[in-house]
């Protein structure tokens, strides 16, 4: 490994033999993306209705299941919604379901699919919808809810017909795709957008089916981590389902560093005071150890995915500090010698830093419970606690949109002050949640600015969305090239500045499993086949010479 993960390699090897505490009850966890305020969002084209196809029948489930000829077939009211099986109108057969009584956009009707779906599969949800005459034209969206240990998250199905505007008196087809996440319970539902919060509507001929694709991972492709071995370490973020079959082979082939994408966030490890759920995190740590890969911990302190008991408003400063320090001590010490880099504090700043006032960095800290209950020194307290728990770990501050000058300077001045005060901060994590409108020159300016602090930069959470492709089922050739060109320009910058960059980590394996799946953000398709972006990363100079007309 190049230069930097460093003198602790021997300690890492020796420590592996000592690890392996017993796990407590295994619980399924949900992967929730870090917050992002994307630079220069692109417009999303309006959906264009497709010609009406032949009548759809159920696939892989009882053909009569969702025709409503016999009963409501498992559909239930959602929120204030009321559902009625009616023969007033129908698309096929004699009955449909009428949804009324709605008082909010998400109210209405849902279907529990827990028993007919699996975590991390990909599914298609289709139906026909028609608003009542009284409701007028209404815009509908297909959505899903995943619940883990009582904690829900909500997701939109994607595709040109996953969000449509329907007219009274006309049946309109809807269909969308969605990679499912971890869940204890899963349901699919239809909601309304715009002014349709109280709209009533009919649905009929519903289908829900798996659309998993067989992997076509090519193990003859050049290994990305080997290509960049002389520059920096090359990693990806993983969840436990990535450690199986060809996905595991894919990780071994292209990466020498893995980040725990979700399973070490505070609510994942200690959702209940004093009760730690180690299974998923231990499984990922074991995979890294068995495959001689460097392991990155993400994250110890964050305003999201932190249980309320840790820092609820109104608790004393002393109690909050104790919760913070004890959590960090327990987690970091457990993985001492295995996790060599920790994202200690994540996203502590707002995205509205004024370049002219950046030196006053405290004025643009995000208003989180940690800040309100403890004060701005919660950041210092967290870094010192992590260093005490594992003096050999590399500790970094991690944030998004650091290519924006105001936010960059605010973070720069915070880290500069903390370093002057002896706080153990060993690197800056520049989250790379970019889109095709991102300016490479801004990214490079931030890398060089942070290098002035005398600590390395880690490019974390890298993905590049094609916002103009949102809602489309495939990525056009023009959009794929546009994305690949930005990957090439960024990796040329990373390579040219590798003396100050320790690591580059892409945020996920493939487009379908990405938290930004609706905008095709990664270098590999849903079946693990290489996109143009892979070749752009592989040799950015050659790619730009061949494709860049600017």
Q: Cβ distance 498 to 515 under 8 Å?
A: no
- Give the span between the Cα atoms of 331 and 278, in whole angstroms: 9
DSSP states of 19-35: --PPP---------PPP
- Give the span between the Cα atoms of 420 and 122, in whole angstroms: 50
Out of 461, 480, 502, 511, pick the active-site residue.
461
- Give the span between the Cα atoms of 416 and 401, in whole angstroms: 19
Out of 343, 347, 403, 502, pick the active-site residue.
347
Torsion angle, CA of 256/232/263/313, rounded to 10 degrees? 170
- Give the span between the Cα atoms of 323 and 80, in whole angstroms: 39
Is-catalytic flag, 461? Answer: yes
List, as own/partner pairs, every contact residues 360-368 make where C-beta atoms lie below 8 angstroms and the sequence separation is at least 24, other chains included: 361/410, 361/411, 361/413, 361/414, 361/417, 364/406, 364/407, 364/410, 366/303, 368/303, 368/311
- Count other C-beta atoms under 10 Å from residue 480's C-beta: 18
Q: Cβ distance 537 to 487 under 8 Å?
A: yes
Question: Which helix or strand (DSSP H or E) is residue 302 part of?
Answer: strand 294-302
Is-catalytic flag, 541? Answer: no
Counts of helices then strands in the chain (DSSP H, E):
14, 19
Out of 399, 444, 480, 511, pick the active-site residue.
399
- Count other C-beta atoms under 10 Å from residue 10's C-beta: 8
Question: What secondary structure letter does DSSP report for 271?
Answer: S
- Count other C-beta atoms under 10 Å from residue 543's C-beta: 23
- Catalytic annotation, residues: 347, 399, 461
């Amino acid at each position: 490994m190049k230069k930097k993960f460093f003198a602790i390699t021997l300690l890492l090897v020796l420590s592996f033999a000592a690890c392996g505490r017993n796990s407590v009850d295994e619980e399924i966890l949900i992967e929730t993306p870090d917050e992002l305020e994307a630079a220069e969002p692109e417009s999303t084209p309006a959906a264009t209705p497709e010609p009406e196809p032949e009548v759809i029948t159920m696939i892989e489930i009882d053909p009569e299941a969702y025709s409503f000829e016999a009963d409501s077939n498992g559909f239930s009211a959602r929120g204030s919604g009321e559902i009625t099986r009616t023969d007033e109108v129908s698309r096929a057969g004699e009955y449909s379901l009428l949804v009324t009584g709605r008082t909010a956009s998400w109210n209405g009707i849902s279907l529990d699919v827990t028993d007919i779906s699996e975590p991390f599969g990909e599914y298609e949800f289709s139906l026909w919808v028609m608003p009542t005459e009284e409701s007028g034209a209404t815009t509908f969206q297909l959505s899903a809810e995943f619940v883990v240990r009582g904690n829900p998250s909500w997701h939109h199905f994607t595709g040109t017909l996953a969000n449509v505007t329907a007219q009274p008196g006309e049946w309109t087809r809807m269909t969308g795709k969605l990679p499912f996440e971890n869940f204890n319970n899963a349901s699919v539902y239809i909601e309304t957008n715009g002014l349709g919060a109280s709209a009533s509507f009919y649905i009929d001929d519903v289908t829900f089916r798996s659309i998993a694709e067989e992997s076509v991972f090519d193990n003859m492709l050049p290994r990305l981590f080997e290509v960049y071995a002389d520059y920096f370490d090359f990693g990806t973020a993983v969840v436990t389902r990535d450690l199986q079959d060809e996905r595991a082979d894919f990780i071994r082939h292209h990466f020498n560093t893995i980040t725990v994408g979700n399973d070490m966030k505070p609510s994942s490890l200690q959702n209940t005071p004093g009760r730690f759920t180690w299974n998923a995190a231990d499984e990922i740590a074991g995979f890294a150890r068995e495959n001689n890969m460097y392991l990155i911990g993400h994250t110890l302190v964050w305003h999201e995915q932190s249980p309320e008991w840790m820092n609820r408003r109104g608790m004393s400063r002393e109690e909050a500090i104790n919760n913070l320090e004890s959590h960090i001590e327990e987690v970091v010490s457990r993985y001492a010698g295995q996790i060599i880099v920790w994202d200690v504090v994540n996203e502590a700043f707002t995205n509205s830093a004024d370049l002219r006032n950046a030196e006053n960095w405290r004025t643009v800290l995000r208003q989180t419970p940690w800040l309100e209950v403890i004060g701005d020194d919660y950041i210092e307290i967290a870094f010192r606690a992590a260093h005490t728990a594992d003096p050999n770990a590399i500790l970094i501050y991690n944030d998004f949109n650091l290519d924006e000058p105001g936010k960059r300077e605010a973070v720069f001045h915070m880290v500069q002050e903390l370093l002057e005060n002896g706080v153990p901060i060993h690197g800056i994590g520049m989250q790379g949640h970019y889109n095709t409108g991102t300016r490479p020159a801004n990214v490079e300016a931030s890398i060089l600015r942070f290098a002035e602090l005398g600590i390395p930069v880690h490019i974390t959470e890298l993905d590049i969305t094609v916002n103009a492709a949102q809602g489309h089922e495939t990525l056009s050739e023009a959009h794929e090239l546009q994305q690949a060109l930005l990957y090439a320009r960024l990796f040329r910058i990373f390579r040219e500045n590798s003396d100050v960059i320790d690591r580059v980590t892409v945020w996920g394996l493939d487009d379908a499993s990405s938290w930004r799946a609706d905008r095709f953000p990664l270098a590999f398709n849903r079946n693990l086949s290489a996109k143009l972006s892979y070749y752009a990363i592989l040799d950015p100079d050659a790619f730009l010479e061949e494709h860049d007309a600017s």
